[in-house]
Amino acid sequence: MSEFFPIKRFDHLEFYVGNAKQAAHFYANRFGFTNTAYRGLETGYRKTASYVMEQGDICLVLSTGLSPDHPISQSVLAHGDNIAVIALEVPNATNAYREATGRGAVGAIPPTEERDDRGVFRYAAIHAYGDILIKFVERSDYAGVFAPGFQPRQQLPIQNNGLGLKSIDHVVGNVELGAMDRWVQFFADTMGFSLSIHFDDKMIATESSALMSKVMQDSAGQIKLPINEPAKGKGKSQIQEYLEYNNGPGIQHVAWTTDNIIETVSSLKASGVQFLHVPLNYYDKLEERVGKIDEPIEKLAELGILVDRDRDGYLLQIFTQPVEDRPTLFFEIIQRQGSQGFGEGNFKALFEAIEREQVRRGNL
């Protein structure tokens, strides 16, 4: 309701990585993305190399610094490969920046214009938790590929949608103990987001650890940014493990939607993506818990896909193992069949699965 400036959609997520050329292969060959644009030494850009990767409506930019003092190199040194920028497409980047900074957001990149023969590309950015930037991108006056300086690579196949990943459902951040409410307030005060769901530590607790989570979203419910903080338990919260290895707050996971999770996850597994293991007894009383669903339960059990239901419908979801050596970033694949929740009914099974991995890493 109280949005201070309009937001069209997630524009892209920018990853800061140690070797973007190799990361591009990982996201292409494992996750089915297509490299659609590139900027680097060969295009006359001397500071960084960036690969634009697309699939469905999802756009990732993989960037690497070409010198040790570049901020991207510094970020990778501190955090390992990480998602550093959440870019939102807005009708007017200058306006979004002024509205947000006028309400207390700290500016990171003042309104900037870049132009080439395909038009004008405008952007600006503010600081969020950790070293994360929220970037406002205005591309309505720009007709070129991605942004000025980028050259086209492969065309995104129109018929072939990669492995069926379709759009960004939500982007989750982990912050320090006690900091969650401050960042909830930040998104409310500076961007007009509102709290849609609150999970306290009683809802998200296992034998040994706990976390708390609040979901902030824009008034259209299109941009969902949950924020987690660790909670006290017998053992180390998975959020605390993240904070230690990421060297501070950052993005924990991104959920990508699919219209056919069985096909998408089968393809991802065939290409080598590793998922969290769910014990088979999870499926024993599944139908009692979630009622009738369209998908065959044996198939879900074989792939390790979780199911949850709320009053609006159900959802199917699965989580990858961390995609880095540091136990930090991972991905979620989600198919929503009406439910707008986050799989609350799966939290216990899910966190027990994460904790088994924490034990394997010697971190619980």
Which stretch, 116-124, 198-206, 250-258, 293-301, contacts Fe ion (CB under 5 A)? 250-258
Site string for Fe ion, 5-44 (x = CB under 5 A): ----------------------------------------
Say if residues 252 and 329 touch (Cβ distance below 8 Å): yes
From 73-81, 143-151, 254-262, 289-297, span contacting Fe ion (CB under 5 A): 254-262
Residues 181 to 220 in contact with Fe ion, rule: CB under 5 A: none
- 190 vs 228 by CB, closer to Fe ion: 228
Smallest distance from Fe ion to CB 84, Å: 19
User: What is each CA distance from 267 to 31, 133, 263, 335, in whole angstroms?
Assistant: 9, 32, 6, 15
Between 147 and 184, CB nearer to Fe ion: 184
CB of 206 to Fe ion, least distance (A): 17
Residues in 74-133 that interact with Fe ion by CB under 5 A: none
Residue 174 DSSP code? E
Pick one of 255, 290, 305, 306: the residue that binds Fe ion (CB under 5 A): 255
Q: Are 73 and 67 in contact (CB under 8 A)?
A: yes
CA-to-CA distance for 346 and 364, rounded, in angstroms?
A: 21
Q: Which residue among 332, 347, 354, 358 contacts Fe ion (CB under 5 A)?
A: 332
> Under rule CB under 5 A, how many of the chain's residues touch Fe ion?
2
Read off the tokens for 300: 């879900």
In whole angstroms, how close is the CB of 273 to Fe ion at the nearest point? Answer: 16
Give the range of 78-86, 264-272, 306-314, 331-339 binding Fe ion by CB under 5 A: 331-339
Q: Minimum distance between the CB of residue 222 and Fe ion, rounded to whole angstroms? A: 16
Q: Which stretch binds Fe ion (CB under 5 A): 42-50, 58-66, 215-223, 330-338?
A: 330-338
The order of strands in the sheet holding 313-319 is: 194-199, 210-217, 224-231, 168-174, 250-257, 330-337, 313-319, 306-310
CB 75 within 8 A of CB 85: no
Taking alpha carbons only, the member of 229, 235, 227 closest to residue 209 is 235
Does residue 227 contact residue 184 with C-beta atoms inside 8 Å?
yes
What is the enclosing helix (H) or strand (E) of 77?
Answer: helix 71-79
Q: Which stretch binds Fe ion (CB under 5 A): 1-9, 51-59, 135-143, 332-340?
A: 332-340
Residue 76, both tokens: 């990778």
Binding interface with Fe ion (CB under 5 A): 255, 332
